[in-house]
Amino acid sequence: MNASDSTNRTGPRSWKSYALGAAACTALLAATACGPGAGDPKPSDRPSSTASPQPTTATPAAPTATAPPKPGTTAPATPTAGPGSTGGTSGGDGTTVACAKGDLSLAATNEDDKGRPVRHLLLTLTNVGTRKCTVHNYPYVQMGADAHAPVAVIEDSDPKALATLAPGEKAYAALLVSGGHRDTYEARYVSLSLQGPRLGSHVGESIRAEMPGIDTLTVDDGGRVTYWMTASGLALRFIMSS
């Protein structure tokens, strides 16, 4: 057998074997490329296609600016006098002093008609000094030596104002001598004591008034007196109907 015959016999078989081998290799590569590889993640390991919600970042509220309080002027508390006082301090209205016996003269005027019993008196204080002074609250009135206590005050007569007197000026208090009550007695004089700014205080010595044209007064425990005022008519209004 010659060489050409040998080549012709083996050539077709070798080509077919090669072709079959190549086809098998191609099929194997295709299968390997399409199937999951060893390094590929399993379906359960793959991240979900649904995006996770992003965390919400809350914007902090801007702090509210509070304006500092504006500096102000606080009025000092006004000092108060004792209960029932018409006000004032130890210097009266702040510029005057309380009137004392040496600053004043006292008169008692009969306000009843002639021939009638004397029951209504007007007490008048006159500033006979050289300085301005103040009379406070109401007078402590004693009618005669047999009086057991000062005459009671008419509370409604408080004028809520100070009676400050310049030299020559006057202050008034109306006095009801008898109110038709029991314990009647005879009085030969009327005297009074002054108060200071504090209700219940006393200033100086008592002052005695001259009797209003009579020797004695018939008095009882129903007597009443008003606060000091600078208007005589206003003071008398509180007793004349009694």
The CA distance from 242 to 238, in Å, is 8
Least Cα distance to 127 among 152, 100, 150, 148 occurs for: 100
Instruction: Please give the pLDDT value at position 94.
Output: 53
Question: Is the pLDDT confidence value at 103 over 80?
Answer: yes
- For 118-161, the pLDDT digits (tens) are 999 999 999 999 999 999 999 999 999 988 889 999 999 999 99
Strands (DSSP E) contained in the chain are 97-98, 104-110, 120-127, 133-143, 152-153, 163-165, 170-176, 185-187, 190-195, 203-209, 217-219, 224-225
Contact yes or no for 201/140 (Cβ under 8 A): no
DSSP character at residue 235: H
Q: Binning pLDDT at 50, 70 and 90, where does residue 91 land?
A: very low
The percentage of residues in the chain with a pLDDT greater than 90, rounded to a whole number, is 49
Q: Binning pLDDT at 50, 70 and 90, where does residue 166 land?
A: very high
Q: Binning pLDDT at 50, 70 and 90, where does residue 179 land?
A: confident
Contact yes or no for 196/202 (Cβ under 8 A): yes
* Residue type at 139 in one-letter notation: P
| H or E element at residue 22 | helix 3-34
The CA distance from 142 to 52, in Å, is 103
Contact yes or no for 70/172 (Cβ under 8 A): no
Q: How far apart are the first and last CA of the chain?
A: 179
Q: Binning pLDDT at 50, 70 and 90, where does residue 75 land?
A: very low
Contact yes or no for 101/133 (Cβ under 8 A): no
- For 220-230, the pLDDT digits (tens) are 989 999 999 99
The CA distance from 224 to 120, in Å, is 10
DSSP character at residue 68: P
Question: Is the pLDDT confidence value at 85 over 60?
Answer: no
